[in-house]
Structure 1
Amino acid sequence: MILEPSIDKLQTKINSKYTLVTLAAKRARQIQDTKVHQVENPDSATYVGLALEEILEEKLIVHPDYVMPNE
């Protein structure tokens, strides 16, 4: 089983693997809760896959100056 999109493609959009995983996980939970995503013709059937596709299509971005507050 090959995961799509590939980590190599995703790292051209977001350089840090940690940031990539964190962003995808948070976005996947949002998609699961709202059932709304920004990909027109998704290849993925999973929430994480949809989140990764959004990142690849630059529908999600990370602002470099943003710092997560403690929860």
Structure 2
Amino acid sequence: MLNEPSLDELIKKADSRYTLVVVAAKRARVLTEQNRQGVLVPTTKPVTQALEEIANNKVRFKVLKQGPK
């Protein structure tokens, strides 16, 4: 089983693994909610889709003192 995108590729997008996990979780939660409302048709798992979007620079975030927003 090949992990795409790779962790090495993803860690370049965030300042830490913690930030990466928080951003991916928040995006996956949005995708899940959109799926429940019938906005999106699921093609992949929400976390996988969130990580792919982060790798492709489709998700933007700022790191603040309180944490990623």
TM-score in terms of structure 2 length:
0.74
Q: Percent identity?
A: 42
* Greater mean deviation of Cα atoms: 21-30 or 59-68: 59-68
Counterpart of 2:63 in 1: which secondary structure? coil
Q: Which has the higher strand share?
A: 2
Distance in structure 2 (CA, Å) of the matches to 1:50 and 1:21: 13
- Correspondence 1:27-66 to 2 at 5 A: 27-35=27-35, 45-65=44-64
Give the alignment's Cα RMSD to 1 decimal: 2.1
Gaps of 5+ in 1: 38-43
Gaps of 5+ in 2: none
Distance in structure 1 (CA, Å) of the matches to 2:53 and 2:65: 19
How many residues are aligned here? 62
Q: Which has the higher helix share?
A: 2
